[in-house]
Structure 1
Amino acid sequence: MTAMTKSLLAWVCLQLPMLAYAERPRTESVAAPVSEAERYARRCQSRAPHRTVKPQGTMLWGTRRDWDTEKPAGERSSVLVSASLEPLRRADAQVTGLKLEGGHLVATSTSFAPGTPEARRVMGTVLQGTAGDGKPVEVAICGAEPSPEDPNMVWYRIEAWNALAQEWENPCVALDRVPDPRALAVSGVWDFNGVHREAPGQLTFACENGAITKCIHWGYKPWASRDGQSLAGLHQACTRMARADYCGNGRNHTHEDTPIDMYDRLGVIARTTESSAEWDLARASFEAAWAPDGATCLARTRDGRALETILQECPDRFRTDAALDLGEGDRCTARRVDVNPRSALLRNQSYGAPKTPVSPGGGL
């Protein structure tokens, strides 16, 4: 055997293990199942690294779309969309149940010592959750931090059981500005169309980088009221506005961190009238007016696509035969056929378009 032949055989032998590894089916990467006792013992231990992804557009729940980072998933997918307050999957022996009061969870018990912090009472509780595909997923409460701005609102650090990796992980998507996101407990459930419904015993753990929580942070707390009027409708309209969900079908038409200025009928947030480092009035123009089920009228799109694409996405929703002046310089090009645009709860401005309205079918 020549030296060249020996060298070739040695090279082949070295490559065989590598080729075998590369050809392994992906199913072998799924972790082996653990027992129920071990699963619950692992909760809130920060065993798994925080996995981050680059979200496509603005999120509703702020959660990961799928545990498998290589699996394509639509924007209306989520590893966790809701949780049930009963029955409790696991809890402190002294906890008999949980209830949601405004913006925080309260543990019911007859044996906690007086003065025990609520955060201590709910720590480690595991609730039965549901993913966007309807499959069950357990969610553990690992921490509770009262908001400095509102003591009745509590930020929760949560983990959900990733059956693929057999680990507890934070289901919230991390972004540069919020690398370790928390969640708020919000009454009711949002479906993949972005529709909110109240459901007895059901809540949403809305993550910090999602539209549900953003709108609460901006001032639209759905459990609160202003001048005797509930803010629930304004909050829901805000979730549509935050994601530029013009058609009310759960699809966004924006990009992450796009600047916007919003103002509402109740005066919770007023129109910005002076330029600052955060907002340039010279670049801003009216975009749309909003109701809980989407835009009531619009002048242009936020992400620069042609207005015609929105009209095609929901073909029977808007009319373009006559522009409508809402006052204060806000002028609609397309208006809803089934509601009065002037009844909108919320309006917004954004960057990227000239001051004059975009003609139907025109681009930015």
Structure 2
Amino acid sequence: MSASFRTLPVCLFLLLSSPGQAAPPAAAPKPAPTRTVSGPTDAERYARRCQSQTAQRIARPQGTMLWGTKRGWDEKPTDERTSVLVSVALDAPRQAEAGVKALRFENGRLWPVPAPEAGATASDVVGTVLQGTASDGKPVEVALCGAEPAADDPTRVFYRIEAWNPVAREWENPCVALERSPAPRALAVGGVWDASGAHADAADRITFACENGAISKCILWGYAPWATRDGQSLAGLHQACTRLARADYCGNGRSHTRQDTTIDIYDGLGVLERATEVTREWDPAKGSFEAAWAPDGATCLSRTRDGRALEGILQECPGRFQADTADAREDAEACTVRRGDVKPGAALLRNLSYGPPKADPARAR
């Protein structure tokens, strides 16, 4: 990993896309005979998978995302900890190439089982329809429409996925689009995440982490959970990163950050190091210590990222943090509150961010 990548500060962006232009009013159609509406058959639905779809119907700020997926298939406001797709089963595909009984996950890639006799490629699973699950436990079918090896790491594969939308009765990309990523792909990641943001290993289930969600971003920043560094697994750092990326201080799945927030992440293994040079996105002189992070949330907190009162966090997770009475560290990593239920050294990641905007004395007059 180059030094320029390791010192590159991380920018977190929330969705703020614009709805497409509405079509002009069409002439009123002739009345059609009344008939009973029923859903398409499995064969009809599978035949429609991986075709070009209509433009994004839901275009609104989505907050900071864990999975990077839509919260619901309709436009009703819902909790940020909900998702139309949280996990996918690898066994018993709903549709697959002849002879394929299941898929296998290994180091960020999916393989057919049994493997083809010839050399296997990332595209061998394209066209497969898997059984997924939404955050409310309802089933959702997921089609693999494309497989693209990453330019910087051919062993890592981006998948273009579609899920069956039972509301619109069509296949749709479940990933939330951003302006810089209007057709987001997904990474396959082992195990599942629940509404609290906790990860659990599962041999027969994976998560499709969309590009604009924290699970995927943390992999792209260098914390692939299947990778190692100096003999140490990065799984714990990846999980801690998902908390850090969303400012999930309490470890309950709730984010505390705002749109276009810039942060600088660093760790003890040197995967990411503190930025020392000024860039368009980050000025080290303006950043200050925010928090230290473990897989289950912040271990100590200096201040909030979005400027809200620290008391609000203490009320959200009562008893989790206590006032820090330790002497300030020489490297300015001073905590205002600290957890007493974790051992020293439990923090795997730390971050800097810009403090809340200072009040304008002229406006205060």
TM-score of the two chains, using structure 2 as the length reference:
0.85
- AA partner of residue 103 (structure 1): G
Match of 1:178 among 175, 178, 181: 181
Determine if contact 1:285/1:354 at 8 Å carries over to the other structure. Answer: no
Match of 1:268 among 271, 277, 296: 271
- Number of the residue aligned with 1:309: 312
Q: CA deviation at 1:53?
A: 2.7
Match of 2:96 among 80, 91, 100: 91
SS at match of 2:240: helix
Deviations 1:345-364 (A, max 9, x none): 00000012499xxxxxxxxx
Is the counterpart of residue 203 in structure 1 residue 206 in structure 2?
Answer: yes
Q: CA deviation at 1:337?
A: 1.6
Determine if contact 2:306/2:356 at 8 Å carries over to the other structure. Answer: no
Q: CA deviation at 1:52?
A: 4.2
- Number of the residue aligned with 1:114: 118
Higher helix share: 1
Tell which has more relative contact order, 1 or 2 (C-alpha 8 A, sep 6+): 2
Determine if contact 1:264/1:270 at 8 Å carries over to the other structure. Answer: yes
Determine if contact 1:311/1:317 at 8 Å carries over to the other structure. Answer: yes
Is the counterpart of residue 53 in structure 1 residue 56 in structure 2?
Answer: no
Deviations 1:291-344 (A, max 9, x none): 000000010000110011001101110001525535421110010020145431
How many positions carry a matched residue from both structures?
Answer: 324
Match of 1:189 among 165, 189, 192: 192
Determine if contact 1:52/1:175 at 8 Å carries over to the other structure. Answer: no
- Number of the residue aligned with 1:137: 140
* Residues 62-73 of structure 1 aligned to structure 2 (within 5 Å): 62-69=68-75, 71-73=76-78
Q: CA deviation at 1:87?
A: 1.0
Q: CA deviation at 1:213?
A: 0.3
Deviations 1:148-180 (A, max 9, x none): 111111000000000111100000000111111
Identity %: 65
SS at match of 2:334: strand
CA radius of gyration, larger in: 1
Please give the alpha-carbon distance, in whole angstroms, between the structure 2 residues aligned to 1:321 and 1:277: 34
Q: CA deviation at 1:200?
A: 1.9
SS at match of 2:258: coil
Gap regions ≥5 residues in structure 1: 1-20, 22-30, 356-364
Compute the RMSD of aligned alpha carbons: 2.0
Gap regions ≥5 residues in structure 2: 1-27, 29-36, 359-365
Q: Which contiguous aligned blocks of 4+ residues in structure 1 show a shift greater than 3 angstroms?
A: 323-327
- AA partner of residue 128 (structure 1): Q
Aligned CA distance change for structure 1 residues 257 and 104 (closer, same or farther; 3 Å): farther
Q: CA deviation at 1:241?
A: 0.1
- Number of the residue aligned with 1:241: 244
Aligned CA distance change for structure 1 residues 96 and 87 (closer, same or farther; 3 Å): closer
Is the counterpart of residue 351 in structure 1 residue 354 in structure 2?
Answer: yes
- AA partner of residue 143 (structure 1): G
Determine if contact 2:68/2:209 at 8 Å carries over to the other structure. Answer: yes
Please give the alpha-carbon distance, in whole angstroms, between the structure 1 residues aligned to 2:167 and 2:327: 52
Match of 2:258 among 249, 252, 255: 255
Deviations 1:66-93 (A, max 9, x none): 0001x12100010000000011111111
Aligned CA distance change for structure 1 residues 338 and 326 (closer, same or farther; 3 Å): farther
- Number of the residue aligned with 1:34: 40
Is the counterpart of residue 336 in structure 1 residue 339 in structure 2?
Answer: yes
Please give the alpha-carbon distance, in whole angstroms, between the structure 2 residues aligned to 1:76 and 1:343: 26
Match of 1:101 among 103, 106, 119: 106
Please give the alpha-carbon distance, in whole angstroms, between the structure 1 residues aligned to 2:65 and 2:234: 21
